[in-house]
């Protein structure tokens, strides 16, 4: 599984932060993010071998 945070800054430039790339066992997990990766408009993208999920981040 690969987890990537995308955010738009105030000039609408895209910034990318890859913060996890590995295997997770089934269940719920919490992975900490630094404040810089989630400020502004941001979303998390989870990629697996056959699926891509996108979730907007709340403030």
7-39 pLDDT, tens digit each: 888 898 999 988 889 888 888 888 777 777 777
Q: Cα separations (Å) of 14 from 9, 29, 33, 37?
A: 7, 26, 17, 11
Dihedral sign, Cα of residue 17, residue 29, residue 57, residue 55: positive
The arithmetic mean of pLDDT across residues 46-59, rounded, is: 86
At 10 the pLDDT is 86
């Amino acid at each position: 599984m690969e987890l990537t945070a995308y955010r738009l800054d105030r000039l609408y430039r895209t910034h990318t932060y890859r913060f996890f790339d590995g295997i997770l066992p089934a269940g719920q997990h919490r992975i900490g993010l630094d404040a810089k990766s989630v400020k502004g408009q941001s979303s998390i993208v989870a990629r697996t071998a056959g699926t891509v999920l996108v979730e907007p981040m709340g403030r």
